[in-house]
Amino acid sequence: MSKEQIIFINIDDSGKMTPHEKVCVYGAIIFLSKKEKDKFITQYRQIINDIHCKYCGQDKNQGCTGKCPEIKSNNINPKDLRRIINYIKKYYLGAVTVDNLNVYDYIISSKPSKGRFLDYVLRIFIKGIIKDLIAKKVIDPHQDLHIILNIDEQPTKSNGYYNLREGLIEELRYGIKNYDYKKVYQPIMHQKVYITLSYLHSDKSYVVQAADIIAGLVRRKSTKGHLGSTILDNIFEYLNYQIFMP
């Protein structure tokens, strides 16, 4: 009997697909076991608990309501951001950057088309992460694979042929035949693929918050170039997997 492998892929975005912005980015942090994920959450929570009170803006004499703003890459000082990145970079990180200027106008101007395209971007991104982990012999393509996929709560649109979960399973397990372009994409997994997909509020999920920080830094680096410190400017070097689209 095939032994099931499990990985946790956590994704958030930064920027919007619009002609008014240069790029939009999806960032990801991946855990290769539940033990690794739980360890990350424990230590990341401690970092956030250490720093979040200075950003809540509440009058401490009035007592704390516990409603602190979510920590993001653009609302904390460089010292605290460096501390977070120094910890996050120990894990498998990924990013996909979409060059909005190279996306067809008919896609950007149509909400359904934009949703389908972003759905496609996510599938290609996640498939690329799996392929990279197979190449590094972290995932065995001949064993069952269970993907726990957590995404910031922004449900993608579908054109009726796919939704994200089913589209991913088809890509990974069965491959894709594109009759229009006479291309066949072979499956990369040869046993069962299970996907548990959850849309989470990032302010209630430390793993999605971490993905948001990755996405935010990658986008800032892509648009501004220099971020003011070596640790932040090296964000691309910390990415285990990175692609650019279209």
Q: Which of 3-12, 25-34, 51-60 has the lowest mean pLDDT?
A: 51-60
114-163 pLDDT, tens per residue? 988 999 999 999 999 999 999 999 999 999 999 999 999 864 444 443 48
- pLDDT for the residue 105: 92
What integer best gives the mean pLDDT of the chain?
Answer: 88
The sign one gets for the Cα dihedral 164, 170, 173, 176 is negative
* Dist CA 28 CA 7 (whole Å): 12
- pLDDT for the residue 181: 46
- pLDDT for the residue 62: 62
Q: How confident is the model at residue 21 (pLDDT cuts 50, 70, 90)?
A: very high
- pLDDT for the residue 158: 44
Q: Which residue carries 């979040």 as its tokens? A: 52
What percent of the chain shows pLDDT beyond 70? 88
User: Taking 90 as the threshold, does the pLDDT of residue 32 lie above it?
Assistant: yes
User: Taking 60 as the threshold, does the pLDDT of residue 15 lie above it?
Assistant: yes
- 244 versus 60: the higher-pLDDT residue is 244
Mean pLDDT, residues 192-217: 94
- pLDDT for the residue 161: 38
Q: What is the CATH number of domain 5-51+68-127+143-166+192-245?
A: 3.30.420.10
Residue 6's alpha-carbon distances to 37, 108, 130, 176, 191, in angstroms, are 11, 35, 12, 23, 13
Q: Which of 36-50, 73-87, 207-221 has the lowest mean pLDDT?
A: 73-87
pTM value? 0.90
- pLDDT for the residue 206: 96
- Among candidate residues 78, 187, 84, 76, the one with its CA nearest the CA of residue 134: 187
- Tokens describing residue 177: 């035949």
